[in-house]
Amino acid sequence: MKYNFLGIGDVTTDAFIELQDVEILENKNHSKELCFRFGEKIAYESVEEVPAVGNSANASVAASRLGLDSALLAGVGDDFNGQVCTSHLLKEGVSVDYIKVHEDLKTNYHYVLRFGAERTILVKQYPYRYKLPKFDEDPDWFYFSSVGEHALDFHFEVADFARAHRTKLAFQPGTFQIKLGYEKLKELYEVTDIFFCNKEEAQYILETNESDMKELLRQMHKRGPKIAIITDGRNGSFAYDGKRFYSVPMYPDVAPPVDRTGAGDAFSSTTVIFLAKGMPIEEAMLRGPINSMSVVQYIGAQKGLLDEKALNAYLESAPDDYKVSIEKDI
């Protein structure tokens, strides 16, 4: 079978633990810290398990709900959590043909410490052995995201495939891939069709303190991606294709956010999905923030993902100032 959309990257179960007796403090670097008393029992309000999540898994579910033939390439352990993850993906209409069961490993399981709408995640990535299969027909799109440090060589396999085939590549780097910077993943950046990260991540990857968004976009585009997209929190999202700059504001929240987990995945994947449907970048970017807005209304990264009818309803009722700004590069 040919797939329109193949997510590639680690899958996990998130256990959301809602905390009670903690404090949020600001340190001397103006970043926030989650604080509680060491050595004591800390009360929590509730815990909720959300299976089969992760950047690429979330993207694959979004693609399925929006009408694409979607699959996920990932690894799981030969255990109960692995069975739960694959069952959930099948229920969501995502093919598990490319999920490898590793008998010698466990399935990833992360703990999400929630306090208000923000969260801190305790992660452990097992060293799954990634390899691209021989496809009967090449997928239209790869959506490549978070894998652990054990899979460095796999990045070059993905780059080689993208270079030799017509499959387009979307790259949304995870934590390890961001820490690698640009040089170690140069081959991958050079064959990327569309790239996503936030402003702070862009500065880290580019090894710069540059804060001007247009210059950050130019520098990222110069590294290889045909379209570079950088998000900047409540300031919205920004893109550059070598000729034009695009900017889109946040879609207004319909209610106070419940949990921000997966908001970035929803924006990035929805943008790619509508590119895969044949829309130009400016139209695709308008739809990404809507799925982000919906996702943060629920616990977990997938419950709020919309189908196309619901997404279009939000687009039709958007405020007048919710539109794309386009500016030619000088």
- Percent of the chain scored above 70 by pLDDT? 100
Query: Does 120 map to a domain?
Result: no
Is residue 36 pLDDT above 90, yes or no? no
Could you tell me the pLDDT band of residue 148, with boundaries at 50, 70 and 90?
confident
**pLDDT in the model for residue 22:** 82
Query: Does 39 map to a domain?
Result: no
Domain residues for the domain of 164 are 5-11+55-107+129-328
Query: Does 28 map to a domain?
Result: no
**pLDDT in the model for residue 15:** 96
**pLDDT in the model for residue 32:** 84
**pLDDT in the model for residue 298:** 95
Q: How far apart are CA 131 and CA 304, in angstroms?
A: 31
Tell me the angle at which helices 308-316 and 281-295 cross, rounded to the nearest 10 degrees. 100
**pLDDT in the model for residue 113:** 93
Could you tell me the pLDDT band of residue 54, with boundaries at 50, 70 and 90?
very high
What average pLDDT does this structure show over 174-201?
96
What average pLDDT does this structure show over 298-326?
97
Could you tell me the pLDDT band of residue 28, with boundaries at 50, 70 and 90?
confident
Query: Does 33 map to a domain?
Result: no
What average pLDDT does this structure show over 52-80?
98
Could you tell me the pLDDT band of residue 320, with boundaries at 50, 70 and 90?
very high
DSSP, collapsed to helix, strand or coil, labels residue 65 as helix
Query: Does 30 map to a domain?
Result: no
What CATH number does the domain containing 313 carry?
3.40.1190.20
**pLDDT in the model for residue 50:** 96
Is residue 176 pLDDT above 90, yes or no? yes
What average pLDDT does this structure show over 51-59?
97
**pLDDT in the model for residue 5:** 98
172: CB partners within 8 A, 6+ apart:
55, 59, 143, 144, 145, 195, 196, 197, 264, 265, 268, 269
**pLDDT in the model for residue 257:** 92
What average pLDDT does this structure show over 61-69?
98
Number of domains, the chain: 1
Burial of 79 (0-12, 13-18, 19+ CB in 10 A): middle
- What number of residues does the chain have? 330
- Percent of the chain scored above 90 by pLDDT? 87
Average pLDDT over the chain reads 95
Query: Does 29 map to a domain?
Result: no
Per-residue model confidence as pLDDT tens digits over 263-303: 999 999 999 999 999 999 999 999 999 999 999 999 999 99
**pLDDT in the model for residue 94:** 98
**pLDDT in the model for residue 38:** 86
**pLDDT in the model for residue 42:** 85
Query: Does 199 map to a domain?
Result: yes
Per-residue model confidence as pLDDT tens digits over 81-124: 999 999 999 999 999 999 999 999 999 999 999 887 788 999 99
Residue where the block lists tokens 């309803």: 313
Could you tell me the pLDDT band of residue 26, with boundaries at 50, 70 and 90?
confident
**Residue 5 and residue 63 in contact, taking contact as beta carbons nearer than 8 Å:** yes
**Residue of 23, 96, 81 whose CA lies nearest to 50:** 81
**pLDDT in the model for residue 25:** 85
Query: Does 147 map to a domain?
Result: yes
Is residue 30 pLDDT above 80, yes or no? no
